[in-house]
Amino acid sequence: MECHLDREIDIDRFRCKGCGACAEVCPDAFRMDEDGQKAEIIDSNEAPDEVIQMAVAMCPTQCIELRSVKREGETE
Ligand code: SF4
């Protein structure tokens, strides 16, 4: 059975205070929504792990969660 790891990012939009740090540090994965009030995820596959982790570390409310998800039974 094929098995590989994917990244998944979640933003707790309730806790996000819209500072824009994540979008500034890692614009490949994050951007601000239309109102500029909350961050949203664009595409977690485009950005290197280190840059996403830097955005996670810079978030003042620690509302970004980065995790690895094991997927089984999928072929590339
Ligand atoms: S760094 Fe955190 S608080 Fe700031 S916009 Fe991004 S998710 Fe929201």
Give the residue numbers spanning the domain of 58.
3-71
Q: Between the CA of residue 52 and those of 45, 56, 72, what are the distances in Å?
A: 10, 6, 24
31: in domain: yes
pTM equals: 0.84
**Ligand 1 center from residue 11 Cα (angstroms):** 8
Q: For a substitution probing ligand 1, which of 61, 62, 65, 66 has the most ligand atoms within 8 Å of its CB?
A: 61
- Model pLDDT for residues 17-61, shown as the tens digit of each residue: 999 999 999 999 999 999 999 999 997 677 898 999 999 999 999
Protein residue whose Cα sits closest to atom 2 of ligand 1 = 59
Residue 42 within a domain: yes
**CATH no. for residue 8?**
3.30.70.20
> What is the rounded average pLDDT of the residues 4-21?
91
Is the residue at 60 inside a domain? yes
Residue 76 domain-assigned (yes or no): no
Taking the C-alpha atoms of residue 69 and residue 2, their distance in angstroms, rounded to an integer, is: 14
Domain count, the chain: 1
Helix (H/G/I), strand (E/B), else coil: 21? helix
